[in-house]
Amino acid sequence: MAKAPIQVVWFKRDLRIHDHAPLAAAAAAGPVLPVFAIEPEQWQAPDSALRHWQFAADSLVDLSHALDTLNLPLCLWQGNIVELLAALKARYGDFVLHSHQETGNDWSFERDKSVHLWCRQNSIEWQEARQHGVIRGLTRRTGQQSRWEAHWETLMAAPTAPAPRNAQVAPGWEHFHHLPVEQLHNLALGFDTTPCPERQPGGRNAGRTLWRSFVTQRGRRYRGSLSKPLLAWEYGSRLSPHLAWGTLSMREVVQSLRRQREKHTDDSQWSRSLRAFTSRLYWHCHFIQKLESEPSMASQTLHPALRGLRERDPGHPNLIAWKQGQTGVPLVDACMRSLIATGWLNFRMRAMLISHATFGLGLHWYEPAQHLARLFTDFEPGIHYPQVQMQAGATGTNALRVYNPIKQAEDNDPSGEFVARWVPELAPLPFEWRTKPWALPESLRKRFGFQPGEHYPLPHDFEAEARHWKKMLYELRRTPDAREASQAIVDKLASQRRPSAKRAKKAKPANRQQLSLFDDGGLDNA
């Protein structure tokens, strides 16, 4: 009987052993060699940061311990993955490579192309499994949405892959294990090193604890807390970094969620919240499909008529103030400062940050997108870049969503508690003045010892700036060529889902088919 070839399991953003189809397939086929490549180019990319690595390192330590229970090592290779594959080929001859498909940033797209080329040139079989509802090679959504939804439902309903038993380890694995897991947190990889003192811990154990607390306690108030930054931190799932790094699988979360919904059919608040969360899981994959189908969205404005509209200037004073939480707009600054410290922010406030940067400050979307990517511990490229472009009005297909930060503060931080926590300069002011301290009457300025422009910056005229950009974008979108390009984008990327009766009634007839192109979904923040 011929000897089975070595089965190499390449872990990427799937740092778990449960419901890991590549690991299960490899263990059933022959001796297993689990590997993770710490690739310097990945961590030096403009959207990578220390907080990402720290979360990944936590998760790799957990993964290593989990593999120990299967009598398998986690072989850590510091260097390019193609170099590792070449070394494996030199030692073992032919082998089979197993991994999950990945939809990532420009760097990961190019990395995977290099791996495909190397495997083809060296006659190495590469088996890739789906872990999200993304269909590789899908170039058009028009007429395909029902198929896409069916694929998503089929994948989510399929049995989860159990952790393998009696797996055989590949001989000589020690040659490819150059780094003890205890050293992971101390690596100098050349990335952005902005500290994140209140970041969420990584690892499957932390993810499972977080999930249990959500589905048994915190999640009941989920639906009514999404837009409010303080409440969302407490009652949101905050599962997004664990899905981004794959310490939990999308499928196991969906199936667990559906079981919980059956338990709470008599509790309307639980039912509504769990139903809302389920829709977020669907939109998570829906957004990643967009970047899979149009990878250029990570670096180029989607709509051709809107390219070059705003100048890219990394040193623009408005950009620097926005990045530092010093714009003079309290809710904007509070959101940015909290994000720097915690690595997490709820969806509505994320949208407002981009809206303010691009409409209120007139900035190009790219530099703000890179900055936020570095701050989000849960950075998921397939959600991040489509959402950023949508909020910046760069897609040219949907209604412009310009968030007024004063109204957002009044609606979602009416007591001013969130602003007072993160912008302590404003904490002494009465809460009704924390939304617009520049308008504080002279008598109150003396009473509270607060002088706008001295103790806290005066803001840019963001309302006039936003009106200017809204007018310009709408005018550019009205030309025949722009309309034709918009329709092409809709055909390629829109979900084409039928809008709800309430939304359809509000929509203009010409825009109804486009309503679901970029919905309020995604789990970048849930």
- The pLDDT score that the predictor gives to residue 140 is 79
- The pLDDT score that the predictor gives to residue 138 is 85
The pLDDT tens digits of the residues spanning 306-339 come to 998 888 899 999 999 999 999 999 999 999 999 9
The pLDDT tens digits of the residues spanning 134-154 come to 998 887 776 666 788 888 999
Tell whether the model's pLDDT for residue 66 goes beyond 80: yes
- The pLDDT score that the predictor gives to residue 143 is 67
- The Cα 223–Cα 231 span in angstroms is 10
Cβ atoms 118, 85 nearer than 8 A: yes
Confidence of residue 517 (pLDDT cuts 50, 70, 90): very low
Q: How large is the average pLDDT for residues 68-94? A: 96
Tell whether the model's pLDDT for residue 1 goes beyond 70: no
Tell whether the model's pLDDT for residue 180 goes beyond 60: yes
Confidence of residue 75 (pLDDT cuts 50, 70, 90): very high
Please provide the DSSP assignment of 185-243 as one string: GG-----B----TTPPP-SHHHHHHHHHHHHHTGGGGHHHHTT-HHHHHHHS---HHHH
Q: What angle is formed at CA 245 by the lines to CA 242 and CA 251, rounded to 5 degrees? A: 65
Confidence of residue 399 (pLDDT cuts 50, 70, 90): confident
The pLDDT tens digits of the residues spanning 409-421 come to 999 999 999 999 9
Burial (0-12, 13-18, 19+ Cβ within 10 Å), 510: exposed
- The pLDDT score that the predictor gives to residue 2 is 61
Sequence-ordered alpha helix ranges (H) in 74-132: 81-92, 106-121
Tell whether the model's pLDDT for residue 513 goes beyond 50: no
Tell whether the model's pLDDT for residue 524 goes beyond 50: no
Tell whether the model's pLDDT for residue 496 goes beyond 80: no
- The pLDDT score that the predictor gives to residue 505 is 40
- The pLDDT score that the predictor gives to residue 526 is 52
